[in-house]
Structure 1
């Protein structure tokens, strides 16, 4: 719900909210300028003394006004001609023009009404309401992403644009809530939708009839500091029945122009004080510093709008457009998707279309939106679930298991789970298995047993579809055509070969950066903003299914580098290892934000074997700030498998690599990388106690051995790899 409340008001009101914010930010500067530029009254100066000074220079004085900034303006008539000036309270002399600033007036009219009168005021109020909805829903989304309100400033992971959007929101949200709320209050006051403010004191029925009192002798003016003065209006010349009107921070009163006696007084009401406070908070008048802070926060709105649109566009690119998607409350089939890179949404679109043609009403949504109370007409629920990393929930399924476990008694709606992944890596189906187990434990009826689709196989999907059709009693043929991301042609510029002498050909392949369009450079999409540890998807000739390799380089390195071992029967690896400089491949980038070294100066413990050295070497290469890095590298043959061996020497000399520990498994004394960790247990333990981050890359058997070794090493400390994972200090990229 919060996501919907946040997305659509933002998209629909983006232009209006941006105008509102930018004009408000510009207006916030004027109170500060006025405060700094205008002469201020000295401490202890009274309204009586000030009035005497001004009256001595301008005998036709009509009114004195003091602005919240402290600027004093006088208005007078001189031989029938009106005059006005900003006054220096020390002398009573006019020192600057009192004419309104034309730029400020133009901005004010733009900010209040778009120059459209009452219709414009209503439009800008709608913009303020949209800003309030965006701020509150955005705050709820930030808290959800951070893991609760207590973790508001917790470190973020994910794509740069998404992180930037949240970081800006963290800073600006309080100011935006305050500005939008006060704007709505002031609009309501303008249209008289709020109760009347306090009334003026009753005009005195009896006055002395005298004139010409010496202002310096009036007790009320002598007791009123200029710092509390708001205005002093003079009687109409020649009218002995008129009076002085005094307005201060405490209230309003009338003074006899002949005797100076206070004839009537009305204190400011609580309602007036609330309204004045809201006016001050919104305009900055009387609180210039606060106004500048709110103005700065308003400047965040265009940045939030731009990053929000980019996030929305990225989401639309990741999800195919599903026509005829029924609302959840009116659909017979609820189809929920758990996807990280977006490919599973394509399968959902194919299934939705086939079921719709068969006469079914189908609702497609993310697994994270699971809400059985909404499925009033549902006859079945189907989950299409991929897995992120080594068993985690993918992006669109975050919180699904919590929602499922928090739900009450299971509804009498049959449920089926279809897992997507790669059968050669069992953990790739871990989340689908977890979802199926959790649903069974809660008592949900089983529509179909858990099934899987191997490497996005259209054939597996079609087979499962026929089984689903049989269960539903309808013919169901699923013909899926994978929708791939936008690809680029990469040209190989160099290669370094290893392992041929031990029949394990491996190559470090370096490709030139492709030409990147301007819009990608601005958004850092595709090959415009990749980082070490991201994945490159290579489309081998003769296959529509991409193979993924971890990147050993970042955009700033100026090239694209991967480490590839030739596997018997491996279509993609054989094609890649046979490339010659000048040859090309078709590829795209997929972000892998969960595998990053993180910020700060905490030590890094990098652990890898074989081709898993690729991203680890990239992290070392990019360590220009000389963060402590300890690399444990396992290889089969020291003479042929020491990838990046020459660079390691240079990186140590440059301070990018603190220490290198190698383990050779096919040497005279076989040693695996987990054995090297055990042999260095004391220092590894101390590093982790000092806050080190552990990063593991390589085959799953190696990763399991490393986890076991670290569990043994850390046992005396009470720490475990599982605890480190929860703390975000143990990350894996396992294949």
Structure 2
């Protein structure tokens, strides 16, 4: 419901909101420009200023003070009416006042779309829609990242989703203020809210009728401070019954031109003051510094409109298109899907097609369409993501309520596959709840709960093999998620380890392709300019020739280093690792970047504890390389044999020498009295507890088995100080990149 509340107003009013953002940004500069060179001398009265202006500008009819402090004088001459800016200190003219025709046109476009009342109605609706978009957008972001504490943290999703959220996060306060005040002003324009402007002072029935005195001798004008002036209208020359009209920040009055007495006065009501405050907050007039801030935020509106439309279109394009979908009661296998952004449907479609090829009738539907009994089915597959801080995704929000107390078909077996991101504390929590609820209601489990981290095609394929083994069929699940456009990389350097042990690992350093690029300094600059943006800890997707599925590797460098670096171990039967190990300097590959902002050290001076094994050292070495501030950084790393595969040894020694690395603790498993990295942690338990107590953060990279052992060791180490890995994870001080 919340997503629909955000999407519908955005789609309907996208162009109008974008237009208002652009025109609002243009208008936001006016108060600041008006403020330039403007100053109001302290202690000057309206009477003093009126006297000076009348002396230098005979025929003066009106003085206006803009919210930014400029004084505009309107007067008549034989050639017609004139308007000038005047110096507040002397009353002398500074320059003719000529309102910008362009600014007037932009203001009319912003307020009424140049079509008066119908345009004002449309603008009011757009302001209300923007208000709804801001509020719903914030709530969606909070749910997506897992709570208010994580709102300022790393974002995930597609590039369009990340940029939509980043810009929205930066601009939401300004847009929310503009939308709220704009909605208020529109409501006041059409009389739904009183603005207090109708409360005028009573016009005096009589005046003294005596000859007029100079403005500088009139008590009521002398008592009014120039800083409070809004407008002073002079009486008609020669008309002894005419009066001064004085408008100030506090109220409006009529002043006798002969005696200077206050003939009538009406203070502004609270409603009038509220409207004027809203007007200031919306336009920045009188708050000149606010205008540019609101303008920058307003420029986010067209960006949000474009990226929002892209996100919507991609989500719509990803909606299920299931071929050969059997009726629910006729199916032998049922697949139910829980998805928020439709990405889980791609995996469900692959499973659906594989089961059909195995000769089964398959029914696939959202989890909210759970409708037992499935009389002909013997297998129920539940593929679900987790939304935000452990919640149900949109297409599964009603599933637990639909679950009957006992299975309608006792012979049916189920399997739950969860999708999520291990960097979030509530990793696959909803899938865990579904699996537990199914068991509690008496359903038979075909397999234990399985999880997929960051839509891993490899993990999905392994799960498919396990399912196929239970079904007694060959089940090959090859899901190829959409990925960005690839770019060319040319291998510049390779460093080989472990060749003599027949377990080779290689560090590959790529520059920008193509292979025939020129050499020398110009080439290095040329390549640097062509590398995409990335940081150590991001992922590079490599597509080996003849395979549709990319293999992801953690980056050991950032684009600023001038090269793209990965560390790859040759896996038995590994198509992509074998392909990469076969490269020679000058060869080209095609790849793409997948940002991984949740796996990198948080900024600050707190200690950073890096833990890895094998090729997991790659991004950790990149973090150390970028530690130019020499903040405390500790590395615990496990390898096999220091004589053959001490990865990055020269670099690490150098980093120790220049203090980018504070301490290095290694563990080698294939030497006498060999040990593993988790043992090194236990041996150094006192230091670990001290670093964590000092606010330290932990980053772990390597195999999932190693990471599990590290978590177990850390839990034991932290128990004496009443902490755990989960405690650190909840505070974003524990991050993993495992494979």
How much has 1:634 moved relative to structure 2? 1.9
Are the aligned partners of 2:18 and 2:302 in contact in 1 as well (CA < 8 Å)? Answer: yes
Q: Which residue of 2 aligns with 1:699?
A: 703
Q: Which residue of 1 aligns with 2:63?
A: 64
Q: Which residue of 2 aligns with 1:29?
A: 29
Q: Secondary structure in 2 aligned to 1:640?
A: helix
How much has 1:702 moved relative to structure 2? 2.9
CA distance in 1, matches of 2:586, 2:32: 62
How much has 1:121 moved relative to structure 2? 3.2
Match of 1:400 among 382, 392, 395: 392
Indicate the larger mover: 377-386 or 627-636: 377-386
Task: Go from structure 1 to structure 2 and tell me whether the alpha carbon gap of 1:229 and 1:379 turns closer, same or farther (over 3 Å shift).
Answer: farther
How much has 1:135 moved relative to structure 2? 1.7
CA distance in 2, matches of 1:180, 1:58: 42
Task: Go from structure 1 to structure 2 and tell me whether the alpha carbon gap of 1:383 and 1:431 turns closer, same or farther (over 3 Å shift).
Answer: farther
How much has 1:180 moved relative to structure 2? 1.7
Deviations 1:585-607 (A, max 9, x none): 56544444443233223222222
CA distance in 1, matches of 2:479, 2:667: 45
Match of 2:642 among 629, 638, 650: 638
How much has 1:140 moved relative to structure 2? 1.9
Q: Which residue of 2 aligns with 1:385?
A: 383
1:669 aligns with 2:673: yes
Q: Which residue of 1 aligns with 2:608?
A: 604
Q: Which residue of 2 aligns with 1:6?
A: 6
How much has 1:143 moved relative to structure 2? 3.3
Indicate the larger mover: 536-545 or 635-644: 536-545
1:233 aligns with 2:233: yes
Are the aligned partners of 2:145 and 2:151 in contact in 1 as well (CA < 8 Å)? Answer: yes
Deviations 1:669-696 (A, max 9, x none): 2222223233333333322222222222
Indicate the larger mover: 163-172 or 588-597: 163-172
CA distance in 1, matches of 2:265, 2:489: 83
Q: Which residue of 1 aligns with 2:103?
A: 104
Q: Which residue of 1 aligns with 2:693?
A: 689
How much has 1:20 moved relative to structure 2? 2.0
CA distance in 1, matches of 2:222, 2:418: 84
Q: TM-score, normalization: structure 2?
A: 0.78
Task: Go from structure 1 to structure 2 and tell me whether the alpha carbon gap of 1:581 and 1:704 turns closer, same or farther (over 3 Å shift).
Answer: same
How much has 1:346 moved relative to structure 2? 1.6
Task: Go from structure 1 to structure 2 and tell me whether the alpha carbon gap of 1:355 and 1:15 turns closer, same or farther (over 3 Å shift).
Answer: farther
Are the aligned partners of 2:56 and 2:91 in contact in 1 as well (CA < 8 Å)? Answer: yes
Are the aligned partners of 2:146 and 2:388 in contact in 1 as well (CA < 8 Å)? Answer: no
1:652 aligns with 2:653: no
Q: Which residue of 2 aligns with 1:224?
A: 224
Q: Which residue of 1 aligns with 2:337?
A: 336
Q: Which residue of 1 aligns with 2:436?
A: 438
Are the aligned partners of 1:336 and 1:382 in contact in 2 as well (CA < 8 Å)? Answer: no
CA distance in 1, matches of 2:414, 2:490: 44
CA distance in 2, matches of 1:694, 1:287: 45
Q: How does 1:88-99 map to 2 (within 5 A)?
A: 88-99=87-98
Q: Secondary structure in 1 aligned to 2:645?
A: coil
How much has 1:639 moved relative to structure 2? 1.2
CA distance in 2, matches of 1:266, 1:339: 58
Q: Which residue of 2 aligns with 1:616?
A: 620
Are the aligned partners of 1:564 and 1:573 in contact in 2 as well (CA < 8 Å)? Answer: yes
Q: Which residue of 2 aligns with 1:277?
A: 277
Are the aligned partners of 1:198 and 1:272 in contact in 2 as well (CA < 8 Å)? Answer: no
Q: Which residue of 2 aligns with 1:265?
A: 265
Are the aligned partners of 1:419 and 1:450 in contact in 2 as well (CA < 8 Å)? Answer: no
Deviations 1:560-600 (A, max 9, x none): 43333334444444444344445565654444444323322
Task: Go from structure 1 to structure 2 and tell me whether the alpha carbon gap of 1:620 and 1:307 turns closer, same or farther (over 3 Å shift).
Answer: farther
Deviations 1:272-328 (A, max 9, x none): 222222222222222223334333433444555566567667x549x7343599xxx
Q: Any stretches of 5+ residues in structure 1 without a counterpart?
A: 326-331, 365-369, 387-392, 422-428, 468-476, 517-523
Are the aligned partners of 1:344 and 1:420 in contact in 2 as well (CA < 8 Å)? Answer: no
Are the aligned partners of 1:344 and 1:384 in contact in 2 as well (CA < 8 Å)? Answer: no
Q: Which residue of 2 aligns with 1:78?
A: 77
Q: Which residue of 2 aligns with 1:532?
A: 536
Q: Which residue of 1 aligns with 2:247?
A: 247
Are the aligned partners of 2:340 and 2:394 in contact in 1 as well (CA < 8 Å)? Answer: no
Deviations 1:234-276 (A, max 9, x none): 3334444443333233333334445444443333223222222
CA distance in 2, matches of 1:298, 1:352: 46
Q: Which residue of 2 aligns with 1:179?
A: 178
Are the aligned partners of 1:28 and 1:294 in contact in 2 as well (CA < 8 Å)? Answer: yes
CA distance in 1, matches of 2:192, 2:340: 49
Task: Go from structure 1 to structure 2 and tell me whether the alpha carbon gap of 1:446 and 1:178 turns closer, same or farther (over 3 Å shift).
Answer: farther
Q: How does 1:362-511 map to 2 (within 5 A)?
A: 364=366, 384-385=382-383, 399-400=391-392, 411-412=403-404, 417-419=415-417, 434-440=432-438, 443=441, 455-457=459-461, 460=464, 482=480, 485=483, 486-487=485-486, 492-511=491-510
CA distance in 1, matches of 2:701, 2:447: 33
Deviations 1:448-494 (A, max 9, x none): 87787985459949988998xxxxxxxxx999874553555655444
Match of 1:730 among 724, 734, 737: 734
Task: Go from structure 1 to structure 2 and tell me whether the alpha carbon gap of 1:704 and 1:352 turns closer, same or farther (over 3 Å shift).
Answer: closer
Task: Go from structure 1 to structure 2 and tell me whether the alpha carbon gap of 1:78 and 1:702 turns closer, same or farther (over 3 Å shift).
Answer: closer
Q: Secondary structure in 2 aligned to 1:85?
A: strand
Q: Which residue of 2 aligns with 1:424?
A: none
Are the aligned partners of 2:432 and 2:449 in contact in 1 as well (CA < 8 Å)? Answer: no
Q: Any stretches of 5+ residues in structure 2 without a counterpart?
A: 324-330, 408-412, 420-426, 451-456, 516-527
How much has 1:510 moved relative to structure 2? 3.9
Task: Go from structure 1 to structure 2 and tell me whether the alpha carbon gap of 1:384 and 1:202 turns closer, same or farther (over 3 Å shift).
Answer: same
Q: Which residue of 1 aligns with 2:46?
A: 47
Are the aligned partners of 1:664 and 1:670 in contact in 2 as well (CA < 8 Å)? Answer: yes
Q: Secondary structure in 2 aligned to 1:115?
A: coil
CA distance in 2, matches of 1:339, 1:403: 7
Deviations 1:594-652 (A, max 9, x none): 43233223222222222332332333333343333222222222211212223323333
Aligned residues: 687
Q: Which residue of 2 aligns with 1:577?
A: 581
Are the aligned partners of 1:156 and 1:163 in contact in 2 as well (CA < 8 Å)? Answer: no
How much has 1:511 moved relative to structure 2? 4.2
CA distance in 2, matches of 1:9, 1:134: 7
CA distance in 2, matches of 1:339, 1:541: 33
Q: CA RMSD in A?
A: 4.7
How much has 1:354 moved relative to structure 2? 11
Q: Secondary structure in 2 aligned to 1:667?
A: coil
